[in-house]
């Protein structure tokens, strides 16, 4: 990680440090830019690598139960994207949700999919 510039190595102290600007990407406050959210998937997928290979050889799938934190990690990632990226695309949506949407709005007929 030091070679990639993610962390800094201080040879005089024999220590590594995380630059402040990089630390900002490891908290929920970073929203969809939270690297830690995505990094959860690395050990999760690595932990089932042998099972994935076995399942390919036997032509069966790997069940969700093999990924114990999958749904929690996906929920965290989806929430960050939904709140920080998707909701702002709808004018007034955040303000209406924060204040409690009280009126029923209808969807224009042209936007309703036909069956």
Q: How far is CA 95 from its chain centroid?
A: 24
Ramachandran angles phi, psi of 17, nearest 5°: -140, 155
What is the per-residue pLDDT for 54? Answer: 93
What is the spatial distance between Cα 12 and Cα 54, in angstroms, rounded to a whole number? 47
| Token pair of 70 as six digits | 């999958």
Instruction: Please report, in tens digits, the pLDDT of each residue of the chain (115 residues total).
Output: 888 888 899 999 999 998 888 888 888 778 788 888 888 888 888 899 999 999 999 988 899 899 888 888 888 888 888 888 888 899 988 888 888 877 666 655 555 555 5
pTM (2 decimals)? 0.53
């Amino acid at each position: 990680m030091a070679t990639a510039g993610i962390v800094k190595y201080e040879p005089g102290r024999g220590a590594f440090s995380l630059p402040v600007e990089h630390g900002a990407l490891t908290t929920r406050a970073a929203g969809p830019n939270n690297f830690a959210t995505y990094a959860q998937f690395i050990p999760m997928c690595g932990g089932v690598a042998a099972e994935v290979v076995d399942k390919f050889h036997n032509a069966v799938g790997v069940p969700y139960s093999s990924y114990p934190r999958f749904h929690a990690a996906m929920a965290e990632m989806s929430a960050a994207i939904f709140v920080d990226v998707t909701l702002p695309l709808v004018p007034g949506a955040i303000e209406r949700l924060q204040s409690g949407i009280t009126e029923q709005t209808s969807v224009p007929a042209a936007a309703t999919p036909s069956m």
